[in-house]
Structures are given as C-alpha cells and as structure tokens.
Structure 1
Amino acid sequence: QPPPSRQPSNASFTSIITTSRKKVYTTKRPSKYS
C-alpha cells in the first residue's frame, strides 16, 4: 500500500493538470471561434 502522504500530492497534481487543461481549452476556444 502506498503511503497516505502520496495521495494528497497526487490529488493536487491532478487538480493542477485539470486547471491547466481548462485554461488551455478556454484560451483555444475563443481563438478558434474568432
């Protein structure tokens, strides 16, 4: 079993990736429609 301290780090990393992806989609969408 992985240490519990590893789970929060993974969750935070996933959150950062999700936020980054959302920002990219938000930035790309207006450009494509424009």
Structure 2
Amino acid sequence: MRNQITRPRRSPKPQKHNRRRQSSLWSQLISVVIHIYI
C-alpha cells in the first residue's frame, strides 16, 4: 500500500482517487448551490 501511495499517478485504474476527486467536486458544487440559494 505504501508503495502505491509513493508511486506517481501512473496507475492504470486510479478509481479511488477519482472517487475522492468526485466527492470533493460534489461537495464544492453543493456548497456553491447552498450559497446561491441562501
């Protein structure tokens, strides 16, 4: 696991990273929407 983390973004299937990025993006979007709505 440590080897994978230390390795650069060369994994053929970085699904975990993608998921995390999507979550962050969703969070930001929700935050913006709330800001606009309020």
Answer whether TM exceeds 0.5 for this pair: yes
Shift of 1:15: 0.4
Q: What is the root-mean-square deviation of aligned Cα atoms in Å?
A: 1.2
Instruction: State the match for 2:29 in structure 1.
Output: 20
Shift of 1:16: 0.5
Instruction: State the match for 1:32 in structure 2.
Output: none
Amino acid at match of 2:20: A
TM-score by length of 2: 0.63
For each residue in 1:1-34, what CA deviation from the matched residue of structure 2 results, as whole angstroms up to 9, or x when unmatched? Answer: xxx61100000000000000000000000xxxxx
Which portions of structure 1, spanning 4 or more consecutive aligned residues, are displaced by more than 2 angstroms? none
Gaps of 5+ in 1: 30-34
Gaps of 5+ in 2: 1-12
